[in-house]
Amino acid sequence: MNASTGKVNLLGLTQPQMESFFEQIGEKRFRAGQVMKWIHHFGIDDFDAMSNIGKALREKLKANAEVRGPEVVSEDISADGTRKWVVRVASGSCVETVYIPQAGRGTLCVSSQAGCALDCSFCSTGKQGFNSNLTAAEVIGQVWIANRSFGTVPAKIDRAITNVVMMGMGEPLLNFDNVVSAMHIMMDDLGYGISKRKVTLSTSGVVPMIEELGKVIDVSLALSLHAPNDALRNELVPINRKYPLAMLLEACQRYISGLGEKRVLTIEYTLLKGVNDQPEHAEQMIELLAKIPCKINLIPFNPFPHSGYERPSNNAIRRFQDMLHKAGHNVTVRTTRGDDIDAACGQLVGQVADRTRRSERYIAVRQLPADGAPAASQS
C-alpha cells in the first residue's frame, strides 16, 4: 500500500493477491483477471480506460487503488539496438533496466535492488553499496515500462520481450518475496505469459534462499561463479566467505534436480585479465563442474572507471573457452552489448544513496529465522 495515498498499487499484485483485493472491496474474484489484462497486456494505468468494467466499480477502484510504475528518468538506445531505462523508485534512488535484442528473441535485464550489499570487486553496482529493496510493483514495473515502450499487446505475434533475467542491479535472493511475486506475474498468462524456462534468476550464492526458491517457483537458475576456487572467490565475491563453493554448488544441484525436467544450471563467469583467466583456472573449473549439468557463459570484463581490472585479450578468452569445450562443456562467450550507453554486464550503476557497503551487515538482517521460513521482505 502507498503510505502517502493509502491506496493499493495493483501493478505488483499476483493473481491470488488481486483476487483477494477484489474480495476485500466486496467484488467478485473474476474481476482480478479483467484488471490484470488491462494492466499487463495493454499497459493501462487509467481505470476509466478499462471499458469492460462498470462505472461504479471504476469509481471504487479509483478510491482504493492505483496502477503506478516507477518514474522513467531517461531512456537511451545503443548503436546495436540495446535499450537502457533509468527509473526512480520510492526510496529516491535510481535503478537501471536493459533490453537486449537478438535474432528471434529479446531479453530484458531487470533490477531487484537499488544498489547491492554484496560488493563484488568487479561490479560497478556493488561499488555504490546498498540503499533499498524494490517493491514487487517496482520489479514488475520495469517489465511493464519496457512492454509499453514497445507497444506490445497479446494479439501481436512477435513480442518484443521473450526472456527476462533477474541480472540487473542487486542480489535478487536478498529481496526474496518481492522478486518471487514479480516473477509469478511474468509467467502468469494474465501477466506476461513468459515461459518458466525463459525467466532466469541470477544469484551470487545466497544458499539458504536458493533452498527456499525451489519451494515456491521453478524459474531457471544462473550462478555468478567468477572463480573456480574458494580462495579467489573469497576476494572477488565476498559472500563466498559465508557460503563456500561446495555448499553453494550442492544447493544449486538440489534446486535444478527438483525441477523434474531436463534443466541445467547456467554458470556466469566474468573473465578478468591475469586474475581468473589463466589455464590453471580453466582446469580448476573443469574439475569443479565435472558432475554438474550446466552451460557456461563467459563474460569478458566490461571496464568502468577505477575498477582496477582489465579485459583479457581475445586469445586468452578463446584459450579459456577451448579448454572448457574440449572437456565437454557447453560454453558461449557473451557478446558485449550496449557499452556505448553503459548498459553492458557489470556496468549498471543507477544513482544510489549508499546505506551500507558491508555485505555481512545486510545478510545478517536477511537470515532465515529458526523455523526456516523466509524473513519478511522490505518494501
The mean pLDDT of 169-193, rounded to a whole number, is 97
Q: What is the pLDDT of residue 346?
A: 44
**Segment among 22-26, 99-103, 170-174, 346-350 with least mean pLDDT:** 346-350
The segment(s) of the chain belonging to CATH 3.20.20.70 are 71-365
User: Who has greater pLDDT, 63 or 103?
Assistant: 63
Dig out the grid coordinates for 274 from the structure: 591475469
**Segment among 144-148, 217-221, 248-252, 352-356 with least mean pLDDT:** 352-356
The mean pLDDT of 94-102, rounded to a whole number, is 92
Does the pLDDT at position 85 exceed 50? yes
Hunting for cell 511475486 — which residue is that?
181
Does the pLDDT at position 58 exceed 50? yes
Q: What is the pLDDT of residue 199?
A: 98
Does the pLDDT at position 40 exceed 80? yes
Beta carbons within 8 Å of 14's beta carbon, 6+ residues apart: 181, 184, 185, 188
The mean pLDDT of 187-194, rounded to a whole number, is 96
The mean pLDDT of 84-97, rounded to a whole number, is 94
CB-based contact 174:205 (threshold 8 Å): no
**Top-tier CATH class for 71-365:** alpha beta
Strand ranges (DSSP E) for 48-93? 65-66, 71-77, 83-88
Q: Give CA–CA dist 295/325, Å, rounded.
A: 10
Beta carbons within 8 Å of 242's beta carbon, 6+ residues apart: 360, 363
| CA-based nearest residue to 222, from 238, 200, 239, 240 | 200
Amino acid making up residue 48? D
**Segment among 155-169, 287-301, 315-329, 350-364 with least mean pLDDT:** 350-364
Q: What is the mean pLDDT of the chain?
A: 87
- Bridge partners (DSSP) listed for residue 86: 74, 96
The mean pLDDT of 245-259, rounded to a whole number, is 96
The segment(s) of the chain belonging to CATH 1.10.150.530 are 8-66
Domain 8-66 part of CATH 3.20.20.370: no
- Bridge partners (DSSP) listed for residue 65: 8
Which residues participate in catalysis according to the annotation? 96, 345
Q: What is the pLDDT of residue 3?
A: 64
Q: What is the pLDDT of residue 336?
A: 64
